[in-house]
Structure 1
């Protein structure tokens, strides 16, 4: 906890020196992500997320849909309806959450199109043309990457990039195991490490942006609609505010020139924050990995 307090103080000090840093929350994998702990349903998870966002007055949070969840898991249609009832928009995350390298550009674009009836139905005439790459992976073959970006541009899509992530999805699996075994001490450990990881990731993203760009950018945070995310979101939002962040929308963040190649896919993929930092002669911050601990806990 001392380390967390120190990092928070550093972030607050930097924010106090100029304009507060901005962060746009986005959530992937609607309507279903990860295993459920005892007593939870997909609807209770989305209820928890929506309640936390509303209580913190965080508005216009985009959720990205994998249509396969509706087809594979009964009782999930209400998730999208609850999200929309809260006035949160929905975008496209591909029908099967497929990796471009594994399916190829034609099938990848087909899976984007498979989601269209869901999005047009849920968004009721509003613009839903934001796409997030599954696994944040545009593919390793330049021709495939170009074909998909051209296809996105033709369809009128903008890409929802990510410039901040702390691997929140890993905690959802661990939490389901620990809750099933009734291990309260382990759950407290999950809570502490989740918040610590979020602060460490925020510090690393800000370090990369300031080293590469000479300034903060509006950061786009990737999260998931998991049960532990719902449990922790009130505390996470309060923590970001204590660290000096101001919440903005995806659209507001994407106006920054850093995201130009996402707003217009025809421009081709731009270097990541980390790549730009390296090109500028800087080094990324070293932050701990929690994957081993999270994979082993409550086994």
Structure 2
């Protein structure tokens, strides 16, 4: 057997092993078309985000959209995502908290969004509950489950939770105050925080499912997403993750799981599974704590760097 043949066999074995055992993750963005009056305006955010996804070979993501924001600019922004091949899905009309409305009020809001968002060619009947809250009573929870089924909708759960929206608020407030943000440090902070949460929830899944499912990452359509999504994708791939489409992610068996517990506050699908297994603590990782994030932001982004430790 020749040396080159042996090398080829070893290389093929390595590639097959990587393909079989790499962890999988789909990317989704909530709240589109989200307000844009800070670092980027809406069209610039969309253009930057679309380019970043294309440049980093992310085939498709999903934008869970709030139809109340469909003014002329909002429609154009969603159309640009649609025309780039990405999915447009339902995130209600006005982004209400189901815990604060009756089932009838919440249902009407959901149906209004269904009607307005159906104008987009890539619209899918996927619904993500705002704040991930699915009902603080059994009647609300089961009523929404029935309504989704009646209208042919999928419950577009997430498995990987984070507070990227709070990181965005820290970033935008610093820009507003004319602070000099080092974008390299900002990127490292963003990627580090998100990876910390991703790996935590994947470990939680391994504990309770004894496997790593096809994950669904919750992000928001924001400026920091447009600026740093490429860096996050690079880091994921470097750590052995494979980027898949949301449609592929929702073929996982975990998509059929429904918790029996009425949850006023929902930690996401992995948290629901953990609760079913008896876990009551550690459902919200520390990266979902505003004080923790603010302290890290001040230390890792705003503080003067120690030049002796900088690359």
Task: State the SS of the aligned residue for 2:124.
Answer: coil
Summarize the alignment of residues 1-299 of structure 1 with structure 2, pairs less than 5 Å apart: 19-33=21-35, 36-38=37-39, 40-71=40-71, 75-123=73-121, 128-185=124-181, 189-261=185-257, 272-277=269-274, 280=277, 284=282, 287-288=286-287, 291-292=290-291
Q: What is the deviation of 1:37?
A: 2.1
In structure 1, stretches of 5+ residues that fail to align are: 1-14
Larger Rg computed on CA atoms: 2
Does structure 2 conserve the Cα–Cα contact (< 8 Å) formed by 1:27 and 1:222? yes
Matched residues in 2 for 1:75 and 1:17: separation?
Answer: 41
Q: 1:16 to 1:67 in 2, by over 3 A?
A: same
Contact 2:205–2:213 under 8 Å retained in 1: yes
Q: Which moved more, 1:40-49 or 1:111-120?
A: 111-120
Q: TM-score, normalised by structure 2?
A: 0.79
Provide the C-alpha distance between the structure 2 equivalents of 1:62 and 1:289, rounded to a whole number of angstroms: 22
After alignment, is 284-293 or 79-88 more displaced?
Answer: 284-293
Equivalents in 2 of 1:113, 1:105: separation in Å? 12
Alpha-carbon shift at residue 261 of structure 1 (Å): 3.9
Q: CA deviation at 1:192?
A: 2.8
Question: Within 1, Cα distance between the matches of 2:34 and 2:208?
Answer: 36
- Secondary structure of 2:206's counterpart equals helix
Structure 2 gap ranges (5+): 1-16, 303-311
Tell which deviates more after alignment, 56-65 or 132-141. 56-65
Deviation at 1:278, TM superposition (A): 5.7
- 3-state secondary structure, aligned to 1:255: coil
Q: Could you list the per-position Cα deviations for residues 5-38 of structure 1 after superposition, in whole angstroms to 9, with x for gaps in the alignment?
A: xxxxxxxxxx9696100001011111114x5324
Aligned residues: 274
C-alpha deviation, 1:149, in angstroms: 0.8
